[in-house]
Structure 1
Amino acid sequence: MSGWTDHLVVAPVVVPLLAGALMVLAGEGRRGLNAALGLASTAALVGLALALLRLADAAGADGAAAAAVRVYRLGDWPALFAIVLVLDRLSALMLALTAVLGAAALVFSLARWHRAGAHFHPLLQFQLVGLNGAFLAGDLFNLFVFFEVMLAASYGLALHGSGAARVRAGLHYVAVNLTASLLFLVAASVVYGISGTLNMADLARRMAGLAAEDRALLEAGLAVLGVAFLVKAAMWPLGFWLPPTYAAASAPAAAILSILSKVGVYAVLRLWLLLFEGGAGGFGGAWLTAGGLLTIAFGSAAALAAQDMARLAGASVLVSSGTLLAAIGTGQGEVTGGALFYLASSVPAIAAFFLLIELVERGRDVGADVLAVTREAFGEGAEDEYLDDDEEVGVAIPATMAALGLGFMGCALLLAGLPPLSGFLAKFAMLAPLFGAGDDGVPATAWALLGALILSGLATVVAMTRAGIDAFWASPAREAPRVRVLEIAPVALLLALCVSLTVLAGPAMGYMQAAARSLHAPQGYIAGVLPAPGAEGAGR
């Protein structure tokens, strides 16, 4: 790298960090200034993400393996000692998704949610710092640091607005993630004690030379590390905390929190393919696939059992995480490419659904969605006490219910993976390589994944249809909810992104497959982070 583009890699961390610090200094009383700083920061992050996508794609266009990554060494220290940030196609994709979700959540919150509690704006910025840093971190220690920044901010966002249900679910969320963080720290200590390094690329290089007894202990440490990641990815049986936490969170908080489970998936994908020969027949692949399939089953059952739309959205997060883990566990590059396409489609769709739920349910009676239980059991008066439901939050735009209904139908098609939208294309892209793998017949894994995707899609269709009928047709007559453009625009933006993935499926799939090939051939990543002797200092 050379010139001013050197510093673009670190900018996604620096920009929200500076914005968050300025917000803290400005104080909670200057909410207008904080909102302006937040808009400037998230707009800058969207622009940076697009630029980094182009840089990451162009970096490997010439076919040079080491050129496929861009490395930023803070202080220009050698990679083994520096805080190393690494950009490749996968990290650029995750940065783009984070920037879009952050912008959508912020714009939606400006209608009223940022007034529901203290420090929403700095919490959102520090959340973006943790997410972006985790996707760029090139060593386990700094991955842990950014994980903790991300989690600390998410605790505040999960509790934003208070309320008994929110505090109860938030405390469970804090306890589970503190346990996962402890496992992460213990596992990283074991890895460092055996290998003498926490740099991911250096660790991959050193693993081949370890003695058998040392390698066994290192793999035990990595297995514990994997458990910590899978807790965050909400894999069954470790994901019990997710639906109630996300259902209780405010709409903009739930939208940005929906990508947190994908940080765990990202970490598993990054480290597993880097350390275990690109994942082909690698350590733990069968466990990943089995865990992913069980997570799909659990999420589908949770969707069918959901008695309100917020829990249905939380169950959809579980299904998406399970689908990604099951596909990654096959160890096939083309399947991984399809999984990345599914990731790019499902994350915006779920975030849009979380935002849409608040608009659809605005003004409805508490417990209106509840089936077969009494209002007393559901919790009469459990709605947000800090926001006045009679508050004039906007104007009833023309055909409000029709617009909300179309948005709901779009979310249903995407989450169920039905044609013609990108959710269907993503599932097809994951399954096609498994059924055309070779002359040895179709593996049992392919049939299991096919069955899981069909049944999960059917469960989503049933659950979404039931929720849609109740919300739009069977509810008592009521006035159209008053919706601001600031609230409907982020939902439309996220759904439009999914539609664009459908229209531009060819170029998008080409990018995803190129990213998957780089992940399954990690020599380029290693060579990019650890240049040949004598090349250190030749430039970031």
Structure 2
Amino acid sequence: MVDAISRLMPHLMLAPIALPLLTAALMLLLREERQRLKLALNLCSTLLGLVIALALLAWSARAGSPATLGVYLPGNWPAPFGIVLALDRLSALMLVLTSSVALASIVFASSRWHRAGVHYHPLFQFQLMGLAGAFLTADLFNLFVFFEIMLAASYGLLLHGSGRARVQAGLHYIAINLAASSLFLIGVSMLYGLTGTLNMADLARAIPQVAAGDRGLLHAAAGILATAFLIKAAVWPLNFWLVPAYSAATAPVGALFALMTKVGVYTLLRLWTLMFGSEAGASALFGGPWLIGGGMLTMAFGAIGMLGSQRITHLAGFAAVLSSGTLLAAVGFGQTELTAALLYYLPSSTLAVSALFLLADLIDRWRNDGTLPDPDDEDAPFLNPELLPTQGLNLDDEEEVLIGRVIPAAAAFLGLAFMACTLVIAGLPPLSGFVGKFAMLTALLNPLGLGASAGLRLGAAGWTLLALMVATGLLALIALTRAGIRHFWASHDRATPRLRVLEGLPIAALLLACVLLTVKAGAVMGFTQAAANALHAPGTYVRAVMSAAPIPGPVSHADTPAPKEAP
């Protein structure tokens, strides 16, 4: 049984790409009026995708090897000539994170948002296909293909629901991403001209052998390629488009878009450790200081943006920028312990930002629907104590009636969920945001810990990052607390919020996932440490991809030599 499962799992690697592709194709054959059927297909496909992602995660961590890796050859051609899909702990983690956020997003959208425009469900599935392909592919050409699929779907999702603000933000979003795609192609073309390959593992073998005279051109190509990914990762000053676009999108789309910046971070982490790790010769750790500097500037921009924001959707957008900057700065040090800590912080911050986008929709709706109670209504929530009989009522020291009112369950849920998002984003105990930031601070203060790789040492950059992590967490706390006071504490004159189960359930699930990350912090950190060890020692990845053998085809009778006749 175990052997059968082991033989099946490599083929299951294709499912996160093929499943949303087939689901989207099927939904395109249905008329737009069949919204309920499309919703059911979307929900079932996304839920099945989450189950598959969890199975792949368990498989990637099952073996005792420090770098468990699955390789699949869709075209049955060996690397570097054919398409290669590769699954390790990092890609499995990103698949689970994508499926979790996607399931919460589509459940939330099922209450009303999926009917705000056309082709929402096929675009949603194409988006998942692009995300999964970007995490699984092992060559730059197909990375570009999946990036374009992901971006093309995101254009339609951003415009879902129409409106002038969405169209305006969508035009900026499309323009900046087309520019990023152009830079992607230029960088890939230059790398191919220098190395003769686009396979990531083959690039890792070829870069140390690049001639010294071509080393500057190699670094220029890598810088151009990295710029395309840094745009997606929302690095300052290339992130001016993010907050207007994400805040203009509908709530479930904004929650899904919280993953988009992490695609840029993932790709930079994957390619940088492969191409410019400690084994890259003269190019070892190239670009690390630029990642650190850009990440810290992005952190400062995100925190100041949160402090100057009034709308919760803007707070969520700047929180995504702050999270991305923290990850980029940590990546640039090239330290195993720090990479393990940032891989723990990545899913928790993404889950919290996604939940905040969903919460923003409910809070804004509550704010807009809030009305003052009718003084002539006997059932009004606020009554004049002077009009009430005092007999049988609690009185204070001045003989005034104490009027108590139970907090509505919906308002209590929104308040507690907002508080949980605040704790995770600001990095306060006891939730996973604090654990992730504490682990990163520990790694910064102890760069020579057990299993640490030969990355950049603490120095002035490390102390600056340490101070920024504390300061930006404080600024985020101030901004979110101020918003909480304005929307919950000072909003006593509003009507009771209307909250559907399909709207509250996904928010609760995302925040419970943060709680689970906290409770299982030891096991999760062990997983991310193994993933970081494999990233900073890419030899296993390179050997696994380059040695993957095609499956031999069946031998036909025509190819079998006929037996010789006896003399």
For the criterion TM > 0.5, the same-fold answer is yes
2:520 is aligned with 1:510: no
Pick aligned residue for 1:414 from 408, 412, 424: 424
Q: How does 1:178-327 map to 2 (within 5 A)?
A: 178-278=178-278, 282-327=285-330
Cα deviation code 1:152-194 (max 9, x no counterpart): 0011111110111111111111100000001001111111111
Alignment-derived partner of residue 171 in structure 1: 171
Alignment-derived partner of residue 382 in structure 1: none
My pick for the range that moved more, 76-85 or 255-264, is: 76-85
Aligned 8 A contact 1:85 1:136 in 2 = yes
1:89 Cα deviation after fit? 0.5
Cα deviation code 1:450-497 (max 9, x no counterpart): 111111111111111111111112236121121110000000000000
Alignment-derived partner of residue 95 in structure 1: 95
- Flag the 1:256–1:289 CA change in 2: closer, same or farther, 3 A: same
Amino acid at match of 2:23: A
Alignment-derived partner of residue 12 in structure 1: 16
Over the aligned positions, Cα root-mean-square deviation in angstroms equals: 2.0
Q: Distance in 2 between matches of 1:196 and 1:325?
A: 29
2:121 is aligned with 1:121: yes
Q: Distance in 2 between matches of 1:307 and 1:366?
A: 18
Alignment-derived partner of residue 109 in structure 1: 109
Alignment-derived partner of residue 524 in structure 1: 540
Q: How does 1:458-469 map to 2 (within 5 A)?
A: 458-469=474-485
Give the SS at the match of 1:478.
coil
Give the SS at the match of 1:361.
helix
Q: Distance in 2 between matches of 1:269 and 1:442?
A: 19
Alignment-derived partner of residue 398 in structure 2: none
Q: Distance in 2 between matches of 1:519 and 1:363?
A: 46
Cα deviation code 1:306-342 (max 9, x no counterpart): 1211101000000000000011111101000000000
Give the SS at the match of 1:86.
strand
1:77 Cα deviation after fit? 1.2
Q: Distance in 1 between matches of 2:520 and 2:27?
A: 38
Alignment-derived partner of residue 500 in structure 1: 516
Cα deviation code 1:401-430 (max 9, x no counterpart): 001100000000000000111101101111
1:398 Cα deviation after fit? 5.5
2:50 is aligned with 1:34: no
1:81 Cα deviation after fit? 1.9
Alignment-derived partner of residue 446 in structure 2: 436
- Flag the 1:538–1:339 CA change in 2: closer, same or farther, 3 A: farther
Give the SS at the match of 2:334.
coil
Alignment-derived partner of residue 155 in structure 1: 155
Q: Distance in 2 between matches of 1:330 and 1:159?
A: 38
Give the SS at the match of 1:192.
helix
Gaps of 5+ in 1: 369-396
Give the SS at the match of 1:362.
helix
Q: Distance in 2 between matches of 1:438 and 1:109?
A: 47
1:5 Cα deviation after fit? 1.8
Alignment-derived partner of residue 372 in structure 1: none
Pick aligned residue for 1:347 from 346, 350, 358: 350
Amino acid at match of 1:490: P
2:505 is aligned with 1:489: yes
Q: Distance in 2 between matches of 1:522 and 1:402?
A: 48
Alignment-derived partner of residue 86 in structure 1: 86
Alignment-derived partner of residue 48 in structure 1: 52
Cα deviation code 1:194-235 (max 9, x no counterpart): 111100001111112221122321221111000000000000
Amino acid at match of 2:117: G
Gaps of 5+ in 2: 372-406, 450-455, 554-567
Alignment-derived partner of residue 23 in structure 1: 27
- Flag the 1:406–1:476 CA change in 2: closer, same or farther, 3 A: closer
My pick for the range that moved more, 232-241 or 444-453, is: 444-453
Q: Distance in 2 between matches of 1:158 and 1:279?
A: 41
Q: Distance in 2 between matches of 1:167 and 1:261?
A: 21
My pick for the range that moved more, 116-125 or 440-449, is: 440-449
Give the SS at the match of 1:346.
helix
Aligned 8 A contact 2:337 2:447 in 1 = no
1:361 Cα deviation after fit? 1.5
Cα deviation code 1:93-112 (max 9, x no counterpart): 10000000110000000000
Alignment-derived partner of residue 480 in structure 1: 496
Q: Distance in 2 between matches of 1:157 and 1:528?
A: 37
1:6 Cα deviation after fit? 2.3
My pick for the range that moved more, 87-96 or 432-441, is: 432-441
Amino acid at match of 1:353: L
Q: Distance in 2 between matches of 1:146 and 1:104?
A: 23
Amino acid at match of 1:30: R
1:27 Cα deviation after fit? 2.5
What TM-score results when the alignment is normalised by the length of structure 2?
0.86
Identity %: 56
Q: Distance in 1 between matches of 2:265 and 2:433?
A: 18
Pick aligned residue for 1:447 from 463, 466, 471: 463
Amino acid at match of 2:204: A
- Flag the 1:320–1:367 CA change in 2: closer, same or farther, 3 A: farther
Q: Distance in 2 between matches of 1:173 and 1:279?
A: 37
Q: Distance in 2 between matches of 1:410 and 1:434?
A: 26
My pick for the range that moved more, 1-10 or 206-215, is: 1-10
Q: How does 1:386-425 map to 2 (within 5 A)?
A: 399-425=409-435
Q: Distance in 1 between matches of 2:523 and 2:123?
A: 35
Q: Distance in 1 between matches of 2:493 and 2:32?
A: 40
Q: Distance in 2 between matches of 1:367 and 1:196?
A: 63
Q: Distance in 2 between matches of 1:407 and 1:433?
A: 30
Give the SS at the match of 1:74.
coil
Aligned length: 505
Q: Distance in 2 between matches of 1:272 and 1:111?
A: 42
My pick for the range that moved more, 469-478 or 446-455, is: 469-478
1:251 Cα deviation after fit? 0.2
